[in-house]
Structure 1
Amino acid sequence: MADVVADKSGICHHLYGIYTVCYMDWLQMADKYTKLCVVVYSNWL
């Protein structure tokens, strides 16, 4: 699951253009970065 989340998160911030936000969060906390991307990805679907 971790691998899948990582790939999706990468696409998430790339498609939505929130790379800056995700990147900053990731530096502070990996958990937050994954959560944010996952939430956004779910909304897209």
Structure 2
Amino acid sequence: MADVWPIHVVGRVVTGQGVTLLDADGQDITPQTRGYQHFRETP
């Protein structure tokens, strides 16, 4: 498949919960406001 489309690693899975966005130095830069919550129970 890599011969047709380039493949890039964009993250990794580690033990824990949730999603954290890190910069090149390993500092947490996760935005306070997350994307649209499609399945939110309250409006």
Bucket of the pairwise TM-score, normalised by the shorter protein: under 0.3
> If you compute each CA radius of gyration, which structure gives the higher value, 1 or 2?
2
TM-score (norm 2): 0.22
The structure with the greater share of residues assigned to helix is 1
Q: Which has the higher contact order (CA 8 A, sep 6+)?
A: 1
